[in-house]
């Protein structure tokens, strides 16, 4: 049993979304509307998470605005004293809904932007979206929400990182997350197309660092090197089951977003178990806590406490064994898999799009 308490609950309310983004980290087997848990299930889950110590709630998806109970869930979180963020494409964020969310107590809205170039942005999203996103951003700014822009970076837009930063500043973002693609779900399926070159990454890093200095005090810019271009892995979600609880649309509870893919990992469900039990007792959350499961060179590595052997889902995706050292590490016997993937970036910019899933909401 861990003595640590989670700080963040990411509530993935639905997998349904009007966008087709080829880097989406949702699982390839997207859940349909009839498998989504009810409003009461979500409210109970949020309450239990707050009792356990959670301070922040992310309302995400898919596109969470598709859920008709979004405002009710935001109001429930506010009553419990949680800081809440809506993670959205912006499509469907009308003034009426934005005002209702403001009244409900929602504090922060993060809107995704695919590129600074309109043609490229809509090609990446797989649908016409830029005009609707700009309108949503104007509403968010006018109503005074804390406002972030998230841009997933990849080979198709990385050369315009300077223009992307300028766009975010012109739109009045308080915070800009330049989120290099994580290769899970649809991102892994499209890896050869999305993978940037080393030259692109090096140039982008320099531009981002200069922009951080230029915008300091006005717009916070977050840029982290993509895993595949690092020498050491990052600690997955700060370490397996240390800070985050992810709950999927069907009530499955996960220690990290990608854990759907792990075989032999039975995910607990909030319909059947309390968040307290899930966090402290469930085999899924216990699976990669501590270091008893680790192999060399992780066992004796002095960076073990900082990296926790890296990402279990990445280890599984690339090596077939979730207990292997993350191949990102240059000490891993599987590092060649990363180097080969980085070299394999000559595929044409032809995306295999995420399924289009929009259905009536019955919850």
Q: What is the pLDDT of residues 202-258, one digit of tens each?
A: 999 999 999 999 999 999 999 988 899 999 999 888 889 999 999 999 999 999 888
Q: What is the pLDDT of residue 1?
A: 58
Name 48's Cβ contacts closer than 8 Å, sequence gap at least 6.
270, 274, 275, 276
Average pLDDT value over all residues in the chain? 93
**Residue (of 185, 193, 109, 93) closest to 144 by Cα position:** 109
Q: What is the CA radius of gyration of the chain?
A: 20
DSSP state of 17: B
* Exposure class string for 34-73: b at 16+ Cβ within 10 A, else e: eebbeeebbbbbbbbbbebebebbbbbbbbbbbbebbbeb
**CB–CB of 127/21 below 8 Å?**
no
Q: Give the residue-averaged pLDDT of 98-120.
A: 98
Cα distance between residue 253 and residue 279, in whole Å: 9
Quick one: pLDDT at residue 362?
32
Residues 84 and 107: beta-carbon distance below 8 Å: yes
**Alpha-carbon dihedral sign for residues 141, 142, 144, 145:** negative
Between 348 and 169, the higher pLDDT residue? 169
Look at residues 108, 106, 122, 131 and name the one whose alpha carbon lies nearest to residue 156. 122
* Contact indicator for 8, 244 with CB cutoff of 8 Å: yes
The mean per-residue pLDDT over the stretch 274-295 comes to 94
Going from the C-alpha of 264 to that of each of 91, 120, 260, 267, the distances in angstroms are: 37, 40, 10, 9
Per residue in 82-108, pLDDT (tens digit) is 999 999 999 999 999 999 999 999 999
Which residues have C-beta within 8 Å of that of residue 9, sequence separation ≥ 6? 45, 46, 49, 54, 56, 57, 58, 244, 245, 246, 247
pTM comes to 0.93
pLDDT in tens, 155-187: 999 999 999 999 999 999 999 999 999 898 888
pLDDT of amino acid 3: 65
Instruction: Concatenate the DSSP letters of all residues of 234-269 into one string.
Output: PPGGGSTTTSEEEE-TTSBEESSGGGGG-TT----B
36, 14 in Cβ contact below 8 A? yes
Q: Is 82 left (phi over 0), alpha (psi -120 to 50) or beta?
A: beta
Q: Which two tokens stand for residue 9?
A: 């609950």
């Amino acid at each position: 049993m861990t003595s640590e308490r989670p700080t963040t609950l990411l509530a993935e309310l639905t997998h349904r979304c009007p966008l087709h983004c080829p880097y989406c980290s949702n699982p390839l087997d997207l859940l349909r509307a009839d498998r989504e848990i009810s409003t009461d299930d979500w409210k109970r889950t949020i309450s239990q998470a707050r009792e356990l110590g959670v301070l922040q709630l992310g309302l995400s998806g898919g596109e969470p605005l598709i859920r008709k109970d979004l405002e009710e869930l935001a109001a429930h979180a506010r009553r419990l004293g949680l800081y809440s963020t809506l993670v959205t494409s912006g499509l469907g964020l009308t003034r009426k809904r934005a005002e209702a969310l403001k009244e409900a107590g929602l504090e922060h809205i993060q809107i995704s932007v695919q590129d600074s170039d309109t043609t490229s942005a809509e090609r990446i999203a797989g649908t016409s979206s830029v005009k609707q996103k700009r309108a949503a951003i104007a509403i968010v700014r006018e109503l005074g929400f804390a406002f972030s822009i998230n841009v997933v970076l990849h080979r198709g837009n990385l050369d315009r990182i300077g223009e992307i930063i300028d766009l975010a500043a012109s739109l009045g973002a308080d915070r800009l997350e330049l989120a290099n693609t994580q290769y899970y779900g649809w991102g892994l399926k499209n890896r050869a197309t999305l993978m940037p070159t080393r030259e692109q990454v090096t140039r982008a890093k320099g531009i981002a660092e200069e922009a951080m200095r230029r915008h300091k005090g006005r717009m916070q810019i977050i840029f982290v090197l993509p895993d595949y271009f690092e020498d050491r892995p990052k600690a997955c979600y700060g370490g397996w089951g240390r800070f985050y609880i992810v709950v999927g649309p069907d009530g499955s509870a996960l220690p990290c977003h990608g854990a759907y893919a792990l075989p032999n990992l039975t995910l607990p469900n909030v319909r059947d178990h309390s968040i307290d039990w899930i966090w402290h007792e469930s085999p899924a959350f216990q699976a990669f806590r501590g270091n008893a499961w680790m192999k060399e060179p992780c066992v004796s590595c002095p960076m073990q406490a900082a990296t926790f052997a890296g990402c279990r889902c990445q280890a599984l995706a690339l090596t077939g064994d979730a207990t292997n050292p993350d191949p990102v590490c240059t000490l891993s016997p599987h590092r060649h898999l990363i180097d080969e993937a980085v070299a394999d970036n000559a595929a044409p910019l032809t995306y295999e799009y995420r399924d289009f899933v929009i259905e009536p909401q019955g919850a």
